[in-house]
Amino acid sequence: MNQELQQYMLTQLEKLMNIDSTTSCCYEIEKYIKGEFESMGYAVRTFNRGGLLIDLGGTGEGIVLSAHADDIGLMVRRILPDGTLMVLPVGGVRPEYADLANVRVYTRAGKVYTGTIRRKSSCVHTNPMENFKKETAGGYDSNLVLVLDKAVSTEAEVTALGIRCGDIVAIEPNFMFADDGYIKSRFLDDKACVAVLMAMAKAAAEKKLTPARHTWVHIAVTEETGMGAAYGLPEDITEFIALDIGCVAPGQYSSEHKACICARDARWAYDYSLISKLCETGDKNGIDYAVDIYYPHYGSDVSGVLASGRDVRGVVVGPGVLTTHGYERTNVKALDNTYDLIEAYIR
């Protein structure tokens, strides 16, 4: 990836991170991404269920490159008598990763309120250590609450603000560029990959990339709750490559510096021949990649497409990410390698 295109990708990543997009509430980020693709000269198809489809050009057998713009988050479940809010997760937000997060509550009247997720008894100086250990296992139902940054102490005062059950709670991503090319933020899953595809579309629009096959970009907004990209796809496609995060953890081959190819997730063994072709592409072009298995708690847009019965070969490719579904970290080298691998493959 050249420096100009890399800078565009990183700029778009930061902009995407600054747009809250908890699953089921992705209107603003869809509007932004649509506008960006249209500014490149693309016609963008939208769907009633959310999501975007962009034709990058090319001829022959069709291939879809997908990434999802929705984030995990929370939802208001109940307003408690003391003016705090009980919440529950939208997608895979573990309670211990939500604890102490700054959040924004989106009301149906259009108002936004800030707050923090805290334990009900959060003061170290007054809470015995054994209580902290017990409360860690308490989870959303018995232990964690959302404390609003408003002077409220009753259910009626919160209700008067317009907050009610079902309101979306977006978690602050805390995005930052760090030393040695590291990028830290919540929701690198999967906005990092959206930024990669936006860079690829820019290269195609500027005639710096000509796909050898008919290539489509699909931006999904329902992946984190399992629906994924299994709708609105072109009929003539034979391959579906989801760009999604690789899981960096003990016992894994994935790295924060590599493009990661998923051979199997919690449900599916992905297409062996397609994985082999991607490996061959990586080897031939000197791209740093790893093949890995993400089990037992991983799914992707490919999962939804395969479950829908579409006759396609599918696989997941993406940058290695540390602390997935928490405060995540990757490296710009992983984004570069992911871009280079996919670009080389569709050429």
Instruction: Taking the CA atoms of 316, 320, 324 and 325 in sequence, report the sign of the dihedral they define.
Output: negative
Q: How far apart are CA 111 and CA 29, in angstroms?
A: 18
Q: Any known ligand binding at 180?
A: no
Q: Which of 61, 90, 116, 91 is nearest to 235 (CA)?
A: 61
CA dist 63 to 218, 313, 343, Å? Answer: 10, 10, 12
Q: Any known ligand binding at 244?
A: yes
Q: How far apart are CA 345 and CA 213, in angstroms?
A: 10
DSSP assignment of 269-280 = BPPHHHHHHHHH
Are 294 and 262 contacting, i.e. CB atoms less than 8 angstroms apart? Answer: yes
Q: Verify whether residue 172 is a known catalytic residue.
A: no
Q: Please name the residues in contact with 209: beta carbons below 8 A apart, sequence gap of 6 or more.
A: 200, 203, 343, 346, 347
Q: Which of 22, 49, 51, 48 is nearest to 34 (CA)?
A: 51
Catalytic residue of the set 30, 223, 256, 328: 223
Q: How far apart are CA 4 and CA 174, in angstroms?
A: 25
Are 198 and 6 contacting, i.e. CB atoms less than 8 angstroms apart? Answer: no
DSSP assignment of 204-271 = HHTTS---SSEEEEEEES-GGGT-TT-SS--TTEEEEEEE--EEE-TT----TTSEEEEEE-SS-BPP
- Running DSSP on this structure, what letter comes out for residue 328? E
Q: Any known ligand binding at 68?
A: yes
Q: Any known ligand binding at 224?
A: yes
Q: Please name the residues in contact with 29: beta carbons below 8 A apart, sequence gap of 6 or more.
A: 16, 19, 20, 21, 69, 221
Q: Any known ligand binding at 20?
A: no
Active site residues per annotation: 223
Report the binding-site residues: 68, 189, 224, 244, 325
Report the binding-site residues for Zn(2+): 68, 189, 224, 244, 325
